[in-house]
Amino acid sequence: MYLVDTNIWLERLLGQSCSEDVGLFLAAIPPTEILISDFSLHSIGVILGRLKCIDILPLFVSDIIDSGVGLASIAANNLPKVVDAMSAFSLDFDDAYQYVAAQQSDATIISYDKDFDSTDISRKTPIDVL
């Protein structure tokens, strides 16, 4: 199982420099083996809004939900685990949230963010998986 971090989705959505690598990853991995956190989904909405690209969001959500990508979330009573991860690994809130979501899902984090390398969970880039 792979928890795909916000920066990976945005790389593809915004056609950034590693967009092709992300496309290859998404084509090679069955959607049922991919997770997106609710935090990432909401963050993508915020970022697309700031970039005046909000019209992309409904299509993105429809594409991932219809394809079978799973949604990982952390219950409010588990937020202390996020705080613990922030302290233990010097992560900011969004990275700690992804960390706990991946941990709860027994998933590998797919991210370009090297902050995850200080944790005890595996982080890979899309090319690493391929």
Domains and CATH numbers, the chain: 2-129 (3.40.50.1010)
Closest Cα to residue 41, out of 18, 14, 64? Answer: 64
**How far apart, in whole angstroms, are the C-alpha atoms of residue 52 and residue 66?**
25
**How far apart, in whole angstroms, are the C-alpha atoms of residue 98 and residue 107?**
10
Q: Examine the pLDDT at 77 and tell me if it is beyond 90.
A: yes
**How far apart, in whole angstroms, are the C-alpha atoms of residue 99 and residue 107?**
9
Q: Taking a C-beta distance cutoff of 8 angstroms, is the pair 108, 128 a contact?
A: no
pTM as predicted: 0.94
Q: Examine the pLDDT at 25 and tell me if it is beyond 90.
A: yes
Q: Taking a C-beta distance cutoff of 8 angstroms, is the pair 55, 22 a contact?
A: no
Q: How far is CA 16 from the centre of its chain?
A: 16
pLDDT tier, 122 (very low <50, low <70, confident <90, very high otherwise): confident
Q: Residues, the chain, total?
A: 130
Q: Taking a C-beta distance cutoff of 8 angstroms, is the pair 17, 5 a contact?
A: no
- 41-55 pLDDT, tens digit each: 999 999 999 999 999
